[in-house]
Each structure stands twice: as structure tokens, then as C-alpha cells.
Amino acid sequence: MDSVQPLAIPKIETSPIPPAIAEEIETFEAEAQRALTGEVSGDLFKPFRLQYGIYGQRQPGVQMVRIKIPFGGISANQLRRVAELADRYATGVGHVTTRQDIQMHFVELKDVPAIMRGLAEVGLTTREACANTVRNVTACHLAGVCQGEVFDVTPYAKTVAYHLLRNPLNQSLPRKFKIAFSGCLHDCALTPIHDIGLLALKKTDGTIGFRMVAGGGLGAAPRLAQVLRGFTPMDELIPSIEAVIKVFDTLGNRKNRNKARMKFVIEKLGFEEFKRRWEAAYTAMGFALPNHKPLTLLQHRDAPPPLIMPTRNGTVNGNGNGSGVHATGRETPFEMWKRTNVVKQKQDGYVTAAVKLFMGDITAEQMLFVADLAERYSNGNLRTTINQNLVIRWIPADMIADLYEDLASRGLADPGAELVEDIIACPGTDTCGLGITSSKGLARALAEVFPAGRVPADLQDVSVKISGCHNSCAQHHISTIGLHGVGKRLGDHVAPHYELHLGGSVDGTPKIGQMTVKLPAKAVPAAISHLIDVYRRDRRPNEGLPAFIARAGKNKLKDELIPYTIVPPYHEDPTFYYDWEGEEEFVLEDLGPGECAGGALEMIENGILEADQELYQAKLLVEKHQYSVSVNKSYRAVLAAAKALLVTEGLDPATDAEVFQEFERRLAPKGIVPSMYRDLGKQVGDLGPKDTTAQSAQEKMTFAKGFVDACRAATEKMGKDLKFGAVPEEPRQAVAAKPAAIQPAPAPAAPAPTGAPVYDLRGVACPLNYVKTKLKLEMMDAGERLEVWLDAGEPIKNVPMSLKNDGHKILLQEALEPEAAHYRVLVEKVEA
């Protein structure tokens, strides 16, 4: 069998590695060798490895190497080196990320030091591209050439990036920290979703500076940044940023990783108190507001090439379309590409062209080719974009047809760059250890819904982003149509699903998209197609999809999409239980203990979804004049919604009668739903005669919909602590009294008693065992202890960690009997 020949790499200009960086790489190499020989454990090596920008993959034994590209600026020479390293040590493919980095996958740990040295020789690094550090500083890819920019933010982004690189200030933060620069109100760099966002401003007297916002972030708890300084003078830029980092470093939650980002610091303190702490930190650093020490900027050489350049055959370019084909009432491929991928610069005679990379991937051979084009048509500089593409700037406008022909010859002339058809997707389950679903597989499936270059004009302001989990690496929260992967257990099988978020944006008034409905992965393309059909059916004149989503509202759109949420049983259609492009049945891999609260929330969410599905069928049955069956569906909808809310009480009733009884006893008196829904059993339990009238069926359905909507509204006010918002407090003696009924249960060969009351939850499954314990602790005072008995397996694995995540102390954890079928946990309540 023929072996794969390595690429022919042109000569790469290199410089000696500075001694300090050479020593840094040698240190990593020594530790990597110790890890490979087993002298140091993987757990100890992991934080060290992350500090150097090296991630583990879901595949054992290989690494992902992340190269930091400040503001997205990379030269042709540097790109050739990346291509060489990707071809030699990785898969021959580079991946441009939503933070303008470039990643290589499937790298063996032994080869990482060689990659680091190769990068260092051309001025690149992986340092602090991962870990609890200041990550890559991003900026708009059009900075310096944008027609609407206030000024070029490039030198400021570069100065901040290199000031913070290897800076002792940010080597061990509570969590990662992200900074972005935008040059105009369009805000291409998405400042509202960053820990620090800096937007270019100019005063009426011509003074330039930045509006500084702080506390943004996506992930499982998305937050938009708030204005910290309306105008930051340039000489105060660095100290202003450092003061924010210092406050975060001091007050960030180092105990609970899930609460460690700066947005949670602000949430806990309140923004005004956070601002006061920031001002104090600024002053303590030896500065005062205002302060005017000069800022020394790092410049980025980006001089334009000559306007008139020879073509390959030595003639001056004309206005041809690059393919020898003239448009005859229909766009040629070149015209389509030029319309979607080329923008005029603010400098006369020049354009910027985007090279669309499908989901950010580019082969080593293509990298070499693009590097050549950047030198042939421009000044040898390129920029990565936060939408996972590459752009070549400073192209003389009359050379664009030749550039298109060259790109097309290597499969790099796809139209639609940075538009709706340019779907953003994270690596998902391809390589990421946290990925749940195949986001890239779904993106390929959606390409049929949004064909490149042929998407109608009414979708021009739309974006589609897909994350393989809730961490939002693809930034699904701020897209018009956002999706993030989850799994959903249905009987003995698990089906891949996506939670659909609608209406997110950062342009104009920033908005986090609303989670609208959970869709099985295989139904997503059909559901999105239907959403677009509904938009075109019901829109107002000149109304775009984002405006339509905002006007129509979550509930209307959810009702339209409910049919697509239904998953057939496995024996009827097993394809729903396979992910896109998956060859084996979908499984949820163990992503770690301590997720009981999330499991409870999912039970609640699934219950409300079941209620919606029952109501949908009730409506269809009324339309088909099957009134008595419709009444039954309305009844089931009420039961499903009531049962969902009972999860907050740690209950999963087995019978309809128990659902009604417990809802009336535990939830109705708390005012969680309007009083008209008291005595549910009496109001909906009578299913009526077989010949139920249309009016009666409609009345039952109206009642059921009102109840389900009330339950949904209650869950939307509920926090992750499973507490309902804006619920009138019960009298102290009714809610907070000590439970007299907790008695030590008889123990089988019980270990030494702890003296604490025993709560026997053997036989109670996750997550209800956690909810029950949580409720019990809420009725106790801080410092009191509770002994909880749990089954082996998932209960003892998850419940203690979840209680610890809530802030309580776990004092003891041991088996109740020699065969370790059951455990006891001693927990001490800590006041929130």
C-alpha cells in the first residue's frame, strides 16, 4: 500500500526562539515525559497541560493543540508553519474557532513540544489558550478597513493581548476570562458576551476611547455584560482592564467551577457594588480615575499592496467574471461569490474577500495555497473570523475575479461566508470530551435548508449556530436560530436532542435567545423548515425573521413546533435513536457526578413538554370531531403538568389520584398557580360521556391549556435551586418547622451512630433522592446535620456531589453493610 507523502512546504522564515520561551517549552517537555512514563498522574498533569493550551480529547491518548491568534491576525508565513505542523503531527486539518484561534486535533503528547517550538519560531504560541487564564483577545476581522468603524482597534487589541500573555496577574484565575474589541456600533466582535468588551467611541472633540462593558458570558447561565465605563481614555485602558481582573481574581468562586465565571461575581455583589470594588482596585494599583499615563501601542504592519498588479499571464486585469461566462439574467458562480463573500473597504480601490471554511475546517494543503494567495494578491496578511472563516484584505478590486478562479480551483470558493448559510458549529462529539451530540453532523444536514448562495433575501439577517452541549462554544444563545445538544431517555433507549433557542442577537439591543422547545436531532431540519414557513405565512410587510420571532413570541412558535418534538418508539423507528452520521445507537456518556439539580430540571421540562404534546393532540382531535378522545388528552395534559411541578417536592406519583392529591396538598396552597386551579381532580377528572359535545371538549381543552401555561410560567420563574420565584411565603410554622417525623430507621448491622436524624432514601432514584434531601435541609437550621441513606451506584455517586455543589458540607460517606449495597452520608447544612 502506498504511503501518504508529506506536503512540499515552501521555505518558512524563522527566528531564534527567545531563551525564556525556549525554557518554557523545555519545562513542558519534561513534564509531558513524566506524564507519559507515569511518574506524574494525569490529574496532576492536566492543569499544567491546559496552561500551555493543550486539551485532552474524548479519544484517549491524543491531544487538541490550540494556537492563540490575537485579534485573528496571522501572516502567510505563520499559516505555512501551521500547515506544516498539522500535516506532520496532526490530521492534516486545522480548525478555526469562534475565538479566532486555530486548533489541531489527534496530536500525540510526545509531539506537542515539537509543535510548540515550530510555532515559537514564527512568533506563535499556545500559551494560555486554555485553562483559567485570559483567553485569546478577539477583534473584528475588518478592523482597519471597515467602512463604518470609529477607528482601527487592531493595535489596542494586540497591545492588551501581549500585555496579558504570561502576565502573573492572570495565571491562575477562578475561571477563564474573555476580552473582545469592536470598532463600530455593529459590534462584530460581540462585546456584550465577554467578561470585558471594548467598543470604539469618539467624543465630539475628537478624543477616542472605549465603552467598557463587563460581566458577559454564555454557557449554561448566559448573561449580557453591563456598562462599567461609558468612556475609557486610551491611557487608562490597561489599568482599567487589570483592575477588573484583580476583582475577579479576588472574589471569584474557586469552590464551585459552575459558579466561577465573573458574571456570577457580579450577580452576587450587584453591579454597583462590583463597580465600587473595581474603582477601589484601580486606586490600590497606584492609579486614580482619571489618570493619563501614555499608552505604548504595539503596531501591526498592514500596508496595502500596489493598486495595479499583473495577472498570471502578465496582462492587467479587466472586469471579467473570472469564469469566461457572462451573466444572462442569472448569477454566475463568480457573481454569487462576489455578492456574498466580498466587501468594499473604506480605502478606495480595495476589497476584502472571505474564504468560507465549512465549520472552520481547512486542510494543510489549502492553508499553503491560501498563504500563497495572500502574498500574490495582497500584503501577505490574513485574519481569522469569529465565524470560523479566513479573510484576505487589501485586494485590489480589479483582481477579485482572478482570486476567485484560484480559490475555486482548490474548493475554497463557496459563497455565503458570514451569512445564514455559513452555519457555525463546534467540534461536538467528533473530538470534544464534553460534547453530547454531533453538532457538525447536524450542520451538514441543515445545509439543505440553507443552501450556500441561494438563501432568499428575507433571511439575510439570520444566523444559525450549533453547540454540541450547553457550554455554548458555538455561541448558540446569541443567534437567531440556536441549537445545543442534549440527550433524552425514552424507556430503555436514549435519543439525541437539541434545545432550540430563538431570537438571540448582539446587533442593536443585545438579547439572549429564548429556549423554545426540545427537538429530536433527526427532526431539526424539518422543524427549522417549518419555522421559516410559519414566518413567511404570518409575517408583516418588510418584517425580518428576528423581528417576527420577537413579535410572535415563544409560546406561539412552540405550539407550531410541538409536532416535531414527538419521538416514535424505538421498535417503530430506531433512526431517531442514532445521531446525525452516527453508526451506532446514541448513548449518553458519563460526564461526571453532581448533576442532580440538572436532572430534576430536566424531569420538570420533560413533563411540561409532555403536557404540550397532549394538548396538541387534543386540538387535532377536536378538529377531527373526536371530542371524547380529545377530552382524555386534555386530562392527560393537566396530569403531566401537575406531575412536573411535583418534582420540586421530591415526588414522582405512580397514580393519577396521587398526582391530584399531592398537588392539592403541597403546591396549590402556595399560590404557585392561580386559585381557579384548585381541586384539579374534580375539575378535570370527569371525562364525560362517550358522545361528548364539541363545546364541552373545547371547554376542557381551554381549561387544560390555561393550567399548563400557568405551570410553565411557574417553572420559568424557578431557579436552578428548584425554588419558585414570587411565591407568597407560607407562615413560618407551616414551612420552616422541624420535621417531627424524622426518626432513625432500623439499620442492618448499622455502623456507629452519628447522632443525626436519619433520612432513609434507599430505593429512591436520582434525581428525586437529591430533591428530597434538599427539601429536608431547607427545614433545618444552619449547622444542623442530617444522615442520609442512599443506594449504591448513581445515588451515592451523584447526591453527595450535588449537595456539595449547593454549598453544604459532607462530613461522612461510608457503606452501611459489608456488601456496600447502601451507603450513608452525613451532611451539615450551610446557610446559603
Assess whether pLDDT exceeds 50 at residue 316.
Answer: no
Average per-residue pLDDT for the chain: 86
| Whole-number Å distance between alpha carbons of 773 and 821 | 19
Residue 471 belongs to domain with CATH number: 3.30.413.10
Number of residues written out for the chain: 832
Supply the DSSP symbol for 435: -
Residues 685 and 626 in one domain: yes
The partner residues of 223 in beta bridges, in order of sequence, read 217
Statement to judge: residues 493 and 370 lie in one domain: no
What's the average model confidence in pLDDT over 219-228? 90
On whether residue 680 sits in a domain, the answer given is: yes
Check whether residue 688 and residue 792 sit in a common domain. no
Co-location of 690 and 562 in the same domain:
no
766 part of the active site: yes
- The answer on pLDDT for 103 being more than 90 is yes
Do 146 and 256 sit in the same domain of this protein?
yes
**Mean pLDDT to the nearest integer, 351-364:** 95
**pLDDT given at position 832:** 58
In-domain check, residue 601: no
Lowest average pLDDT, out of 101-105, 270-274, 762-766, goes to 762-766
- Which single residue is written with the C-alpha cell 483592575? 243
Question: What are the tens digits of pLDDT across the range 272-311?
Answer: 999 999 999 999 887 766 655 678 898 888 888 877 544 4
Least confident of 116-125, 259-268, 569-578, 709-718: 709-718
Residue 313 above 60 pLDDT? no
* Among candidate residues 667, 699, 728, the one where a domain is terminated: 728
Please list, in sequence order, all residues whose beta carbon lies within 8 angstroms of the beta carbon of residue 741, skipping any fewer than 6 positions away.
Answer: none
CB 407 within 8 A of CB 414: no
Looking at the structure, tell me whether residues 291 and 208 fall in a common domain.
yes
Question: Given 687, 712, 728, which residue is the final one in a domain?
Answer: 728
Q: CATH number, domain at 724?
A: 1.20.120
Statement to judge: residues 756 and 787 lie in one domain? yes
| Identity of the residue numbered 459 | L
- The torsion angles phi and psi of 825, rounded to 5 degrees, stand at -130, 130
Does the predicted TM-score (pTM) go above 0.85?
Answer: no
Q: What single letter denotes the amino acid at residue 726?
A: A
What total of structural domains would you count in the chain? 5
Please check whether residues 139 and 287 belong to one and the same domain: yes
Are 614 and 636 in contact by the 8 Å Cβ rule? The answer is yes
Q: Is residue 743 scored above 80 in pLDDT? A: no
Degrees to nearest 5, angle at CA 264 with 262 and 269: 100
Residue 792, pLDDT score: 84
What's the pLDDT score for residue 638?
94
Same domain? 552 vs 653: no
Q: Of these residues, 130, 184, 426, 766, which one is catalytic?
A: 766
Residues 586 and 492: beta-carbon distance below 8 Å: no
- Which of residues 793 and 578 earns the better pLDDT score? 578
pLDDT at residue number 745: 43
Cβ atoms 9, 84 nearer than 8 A: yes
Q: In angstroms, rounded to a whole number, what is the distance separating the alpha carbons of residues 805 and 727?
A: 25
What one-character DSSP code corresponds to residue 724? P
Q: pLDDT band for position 552 (50/70/90)?
A: very high
Q: Output the pLDDT for position 383.
A: 98
Q: What is the pLDDT of residues 495-531, one digit of tens each?
A: 999 999 999 988 767 889 998 999 999 999 999 999 9
User: What pLDDT shows up at residue 406?
Assistant: 97
Q: Look at residues 512, 518, 481 and name the one whose alpha carbon lies nearest to residue 608.
A: 518
C-alpha to C-alpha distance for 76 and 380, rounded to whole angstroms: 5
Report yes or no: 582 and 490 within 8 Å, Cβ to Cβ.
Answer: no
Among 626-630, 656-660, 803-807, name the one with the lowest average pLDDT. Answer: 803-807
pLDDT digits (tens, 9 = 90+) for 256-271: 777 889 999 999 999 9
Share of the chain above pLDDT 90, in %: 52
pLDDT at 95 over 80: yes
Examine residue 124 and state whether it is found in any structural domain, yes or no: no
In this prediction, residue 91 carries a pLDDT of: 95
Q: What is the pLDDT of residues 163-222, one digit of tens each?
A: 999 998 888 888 999 999 999 989 999 999 999 999 999 999 999 999 999 999 998 788
The model's confidence at residue 321, banded by pLDDT at 50, 70 and 90, is very low
CA neighbor of 720 nearest in space, from 648, 795, 828, 807: 648
pLDDT given at position 104: 97
Q: Note down the domain range covering 363.
A: 334-409
| Whether 179 contacts 224, CB under 8 Å | no
Q: Measured between alpha carbons, how far is residue 498 from residues 241, 390, 591, 657 in Å? A: 37, 29, 17, 34
Q: What is the model's pLDDT at position 598? A: 65
Residue 808 has pLDDT above 90, yes or no: no
For residue 675, being part of any structural domain is answered with yes
Q: Which of residues 753 and 308 earns the better pLDDT score?
A: 753
Of 712, 728, 744, the domain-final residue: 728
Q: 332 near 338, Cβ under 8 Å?
A: no
The verdict on residue 496 lying in a domain is yes
Q: What is the dihedral of CA 609, 613, 615, 619, to 10 degrees?
A: 150
Determine whether 33 is exposed, middle or buried from the number of CB atoms within 10 Å of its CB (0-12, 13-18, 19+). Answer: middle
Can you give the CATH number for the domain in which 389 is found?
3.30.70.3340
441 and 570 part of one domain: yes
Please, which residues have CB within 8 angstroms of residue 487's CB and are 6 or more apart in sequence?
436, 437, 494, 495, 496, 497, 586, 588
155 and 271 housed in the same domain: yes
* pLDDT at residue 632 tops 60: yes
Q: Which of 644, 632, 611 is nearest to 700 (CA)?
A: 632
pLDDT (tens digit per residue) in 656-698: 888 899 999 888 888 888 888 888 888 887 777 767 888 888 9
3-state secondary structure of 276: helix
Q: Is residue 44 part of a domain?
A: no
- Give percent above pLDDT 70 in the chain: 91
Q: Is residue 63 part of a domain?
A: no
Which residues are within 8 A (CB) of 675 and not within 5 positions of it... i.e. 6 or more apart? none
Residues 813, 769 share a domain: yes
Integer-rounded Cα Rg, in Å, for the chain is: 29
430 within some domain: no
End-to-end alpha-carbon separation of the chain, Å? 65
Element of type H or E holding 102:
strand 102-107
Please tell me the number of Cα atoms within 13 Å of 440 on its side-chain side.
16
Nearest to 320 by CA among 263, 400, 421: 400
- Give the Cα separation of 670 and 645 in Å (integer): 12
